[in-house]
């Protein structure tokens, strides 16, 4: 394990003490969460094996003295000395091409990694927040998706390495809660986008932006009639932190309920970037969900949370970040 930066103290700016463990904290969403935690005065211990995360996503936090990066694979166990008040468990590949390229690692991090993370939380009497996913609904037969819906997942299809790992993570989290009274919250995260997505990482927004700005054709899979509901990363972060602050177990959908077809998204990105790229159709991946949209009534009512950033605004912020060469 390599340690970069140091943060032994958990003293907060307001005098109280809070030290947060973020697994997968050097990834796209994890690094934005680390930013928000450090900005509010917390001390962060980030564990990431850098398999899909990047040190450059969090390098700017090291000089704060409130941030430490431990390069390690959480599925092999977690060894963090000192107190922890909150565990945010995000470690996992999240982009379909990434998790399809690492099927066994994805299952290991969802099972052994989640076990290790929740054991830290229980040992430290800390709250544990699981980053689960809308993928637990599979190709949903209920629309929009409510938390009470059990989903429609192919347990032996290629995507199952991610879907079932996350479903297992939820089951494990609830078992610890029921058996040991662990203080847990489960966030079902819907498609999230923003600066720091690895350009062309396989996810739809990263691919389309990269292609539009590079003057290459936008690769629409299938006929583009499948839908997604895209949440800007700052909104996703405030939703997850609202769940962390609460005592709600959930699961709770955290996503933006504005639904759009993939083809409309491609056209929106062409318009916002002013790109003259064309649209090219390619085969639909196996078991690609045909539609996805969160019902966020629970988050609205129980967490007083809802997204505030529109798709056009969020995409414009991404384009600006890419154009300025910065990824922050």
Tokens 């990105």, residue? 269
Number of Cβ within a 10 Å radius of residue 237 = 22
If one asks whether residue 302 binds ligand UDP (CB under 6 A), the answer comes out as no
Q: Which of residues 85-104 bind ligand UDP (CB under 6 A)?
A: 96
Q: Does 270 bind ligand UDP (CB under 6 A)?
A: no
| By the rule CB under 6 A, 219 interacts with ligand UDP | yes
Q: Which stretch binds ligand UDP (CB under 6 A): 61-69, 143-151, 215-223, 238-246?
A: 215-223
Q: Provide, rounded to whole angstroms, the least separation between the CB of residue 39 and ligand UDP.
A: 28
Q: Applying CB under 6 A, does 183 fall inside the site for ligand UDP?
A: no
Of residues 48 and 135, the one with the C-beta less far from ligand UDP: 135
84 makes contact with ligand UDP (CB under 6 A): no
Nearer to ligand UDP, 38 or 230 (CB): 230
Q: Which of 260, 264, 285, 316 binds ligand UDP (CB under 6 A)?
A: 285
Contact between 221 and ligand UDP by CB under 6 A: the answer reads: yes
167 lies in the site for ligand UDP, by CB under 6 A:
no
29 part of the interface to ligand UDP, by CB under 6 A: no
For position 315 contacting ligand UDP by CB under 6 A, the verdict is no
Closest CA to 145 of 291, 260, 285: 291
Contact range with ligand UDP by CB under 6 A, out of 18-26, 41-49, 109-117, 282-290:
282-290
* Binding footprint of ligand UDP, residue count (CB under 6 A): 15
207 binds ligand UDP (CB under 6 A): yes
* 151 near ligand UDP (CB under 6 A): no
> What is the 3-state secondary structure of the chain?
CEEEEECCCCECCCCCECEEEEECCCCHHHHHHHHHHHHCCCEEEEEECCCCCCHHHCHHHHHHCCEEEEECCHHHCCCCCCCCCEEEECCCCCCHHHHHHCHHHHHHHHHHHHHHHHHHHHHCCCEEEEEEEHHHHECCCCCCECCCCCCECCCCCCCHHHHHHHHHHHHHHHHHHHHHCCCEEEEEECCEECCCCCCCCCCHHHHHHHHHHCCCCEEEECCCCCEEECEEHHHHHHHHHHHHHCCCCCCEEECCCCEEEHHHHHHHHHHHHCCCCCEEEECCCCCCCCCCCECCHHHHHHHCCCCCCCHHHHHHHHHHHHHCCCCC
Q: Of 203 and 327, which has the nearer Cβ to ligand UDP?
A: 203
Closer residue to ligand UDP, CB minimum distance, 46 or 322: 322
**CB of residue 201 to ligand UDP, shortest distance in Å:** 9
For position 288 contacting ligand UDP by CB under 6 A, the verdict is yes
CA–CA gap between residue 277 and residue 271 (Å, rounded): 10
Q: Is 162 a catalytic residue?
A: yes
In angstroms, the CA 76 to CA 73 distance is 6
Measured CA angle at 327 (ends 185, 53), to 5 deg: 50
Residue 264 contacts ligand UDP per CB under 6 A: no
CB of 109 to ligand UDP, least distance (A): 17
- 18 lines the binding site for ligand UDP (CB under 6 A): no
Minimal distance, residue 29 CB to ligand UDP, in Å: 13
Of 99, 137, 162, 193, catalytic: 162
Cis omega (within 30 of 0) on the bond before 218? no
Binding site for ligand UDP (CB under 6 A): 96, 191, 202-204, 207, 219-221, 226, 228, 262, 284-285, 288
Give the residue numbers marked as catalytic: 162
């Amino acid at each position: 394990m390599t340690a970069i930066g140091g943060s032994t103290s958990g003293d907060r700016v307001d005098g109280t003490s809070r030290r947060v463990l973020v697994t997968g904290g050097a990834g796209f969403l994890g690094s934005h969460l680390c930013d928000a935690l450090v900005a509010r005065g917390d001390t962060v211990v980030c564990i990431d094996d850098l398999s899909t995360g990047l040190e450059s996503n969090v390098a700017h936090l090291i000089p704060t003295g409130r941030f430490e990066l431990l390069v390690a694979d959480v599925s092999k166990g977690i060894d963090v000395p000192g107190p922890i008040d909150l565990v945010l468990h995000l470690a996992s590949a999240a982009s379909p091409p990434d998790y399809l390229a690492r099927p066994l690692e994805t299952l290991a991090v969802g099972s052994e990694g989640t076990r290790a993370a929740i054991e830290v939380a229980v040992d430290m009497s800390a709250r544990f927040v699981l980053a689960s996913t809308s993928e637990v609904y599979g190709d949903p037969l209920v629309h929009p998706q409510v938390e009470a819906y059990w989903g429609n997942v192919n347990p032996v299809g290629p995507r199952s390495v991610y879907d079932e790992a996350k479903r297992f993570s939820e089951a494990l989290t609830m078992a610890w809660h029921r058996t040991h009274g662990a203080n847990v919250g489960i966030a079902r995260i819907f498609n999230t986008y923003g600066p720091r997505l690895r350009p062309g990482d396989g996810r739809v927004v990263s691919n389309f932006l990269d292609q539009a700005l590079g003057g290459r054709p936008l690769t629409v899979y299938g006929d583009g009639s499948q839908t997604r509901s895209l949440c800007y990363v700052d909104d996703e972060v405030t939703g997850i932190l609202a769940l962390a602050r609460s005592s709600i177990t959930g699961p709770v959908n955290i996503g933006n309920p504005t639904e759009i077809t993939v083809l409309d998204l491609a056209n929106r990105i062409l318009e916002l970037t002013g790109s003259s790229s064309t649209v090219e159709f390619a085969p639909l991946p196996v078991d690609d969900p045909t539609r996805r949209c969160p019902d966020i009534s629970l988050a609205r009512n129980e967490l007083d949370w809802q997204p505030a950033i529109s798709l056009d605004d969020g995409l414009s912020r991404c384009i600006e970040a890419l154009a300025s060469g910065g990824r922050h």
